[in-house]
Amino acid sequence: MNITLFLQQFLNGLSIGSIYAIFALGYTLVYSILGIINLAHGAIFALGAYFTYALMGGNFGFNGLLANAVLPIKLPFAMSLILGSTLAGLVGVAMERVAFQPLRRQGSDPLLTVVSSLGVGVVIVNLIQYLVGAESYTYPANTYGNLPPAINFGSLENPIPIRSVQVVIFGVSVVIVTILTYFINRTKYGKAMQAIAEDPTTASLLGINSDRFIILTFFISSFLAGLAGTLVASSVSIAGPYFGIAFGLRGLAVIVLGGLGSIPGAVLGGLLIGLVEAFVPAEYSGYKDAVAFGILFIMLLVRPQGLLGRRFIQKV
């Protein structure tokens, strides 16, 4: 492999990996606080993309209940992105109230909660299809203003073109991870979340209202899913209601690789899986998923706590 191709695939991998990272951060946050994996995360990811599409004034095709529906507003992309992700966040909160909280109150087995989240995911995906059909939707061509389709990171003779949208995604991801890290480590709210993650009982004895922070966690987690969904959709279109599922599965690989519950782990895991996928040789490129899950499998065997995860301590 020559250096140009190497650099090109490296940059591609970083960009794809950064999306995996912000997507997986959502999983990680919920896992840290509640100790469960929210399997509806992929569906929320898709939902966020649809919200943004609608807010940008996109109209829906003829196969769903909302055939040819279009919102009376037409917002610019940045605003739609934030609003669409916020809506996704609110759906996450509603989901927590309906599917998670009642089970938690009854002290149910975490497995039941995971199954419940899977149920919510399936309902959301089917609801999307029922409402807007299975068509793919693409954001308008001028989503990112007048950016050229690709940016050349090489020279004129030896071009290393990277799609502009990937560069934007990488930039946004870096900003999001920075803000989130600051929020978790430096703010009162973030510290309270950490306290709950450490030990919910002690946290509540210290006067932290854990219920409120669980809602906040679900909001942030689903916001991140919606944001990741929108960014991916701006790069590769909304491929249909099922388009979050593949991401949902890959996100699992990312957090197991990085270490369950570890924020830097989710970022590292995302980038690594993105890079590994980019370097899968062309003749095997159809097996990218298998590679991601192969890594997950090996990781579980060799280092079950993941790259940056903490060793599980047997508590009584």
Partner 1 sequence: MKNALPGTTALLSICALLLTSCGGGTNTVTDTAAITGTSDAIPIGIALAQTSNVALLGQEGFVGARIAETYFNSKGGINGTPIKLVIQDTGGDEAGAINAFQTLINKDKVVGIVGPTLSQQAFSADPIAERAKVPVIGASNTAKGIPEIGDYVARVSSPVSIVAPNSVKAALKQNPQIKKVAVFYAQNDAFNKSETEIFQKTVKDQGLELVTVQKFQTTDTDFQAQATNAINLKPDLVIISGLAADGGNLVRQLRELGYKGIIIGGNGLNTPNVLSVCKALCDGVLIAQAYSPEYPGEINKVFRQAYVDQYKKEPAQFTGQAFTAVQVYVEALKELDKKSKISTLPLDKLRAELNKQILAGKYDTPLGEIAFTPVGDVIQKEFYVAQIKMDKDGNTGKFVFIK
Site for partner 1 in 4-23 (CB under 8 A): 4-5, 8-9, 12-13, 16
- Footprint on residues 112-171 left by partner 1 (CB under 8 A): 114, 118, 121-122, 125-126, 129, 133-138, 140-141, 149-150, 159, 161-166
Distance in Å, CB of 21 to partner 1, minimum: 15
Considering beta carbons, is residue 14 or 214 the nearer one to partner 1? 14
Q: How far apart are CA 69 and CA 131, in angstroms?
A: 10
Q: How far apart are CA 268 and CA 247, in angstroms?
A: 16
Distance in Å, CB of 135 to partner 1, minimum: 6
3-class SS of residue 240:
coil
- What b/e readout covers 276-291, taking b as 16+ CB neighbours within 10 angstroms? bbbebeeeeeeebeeb
Task: Tell whether residue 94 is a contact of partner 1 (CB under 8 A).
Answer: no
Binding mask 247-266 for partner 1 (x = CB under 8 A): -xx--x---x---x------
CB distance 98 to 215 below 8 Å: no
Distance in Å, CB of 14 to partner 1, minimum: 11
Q: Which of 76, 246, 298, 303 binds partner 1 (CB under 8 A)?
A: 246
Task: Please name the residue that has the structure tokens 């973030």.
Answer: 190
Count of residues of this chain found to bind partner 1 when the rule CB under 8 A is applied: 72
Task: Compute, in degrees rounded to 10, the torsion defined by CA atoms 244, 249, 252, 258.
Answer: -90
- Footprint on residues 201-240 left by partner 1 (CB under 8 A): 232, 235-237, 239-240
Task: Tell whether residue 104 is a contact of partner 1 (CB under 8 A).
Answer: no
Distance in Å, CB of 179 to partner 1, minimum: 25
Considering beta carbons, is residue 162 or 190 the nearer one to partner 1? 162
Determine how many CB atoms are found less than 10 A away from the CB of residue 311: 8
Binding mask 265-294 for partner 1 (x = CB under 8 A): ------------xxxx-xxxxx-xx-----
Task: Tell whether residue 245 is a contact of partner 1 (CB under 8 A).
Answer: yes
- Footprint on residues 19-48 left by partner 1 (CB under 8 A): 35, 37, 39, 42
- Footprint on residues 176-205 left by partner 1 (CB under 8 A): none
Distance in Å, CB of 262 to partner 1, minimum: 14
What contacts 151, CB < 8 A, 6 or more positions away? 161, 162, 163, 164, 167
What contacts 9, CB < 8 A, 6 or more positions away? 1, 278, 279
Q: How far apart are CA 192 and CA 177, in angstroms?
A: 19
Task: Please name the residue that has the structure tokens 């609110």.
Answer: 90
- Footprint on residues 57-76 left by partner 1 (CB under 8 A): 61-63
Distance in Å, CB of 166 to partner 1, minimum: 7
Query: Where would I find the H helices in the chain?
Result: 3-34, 41-55, 77-95, 101-105, 110-132, 164-186, 188-198, 200-205, 210-236, 243-258, 263-278, 288-302
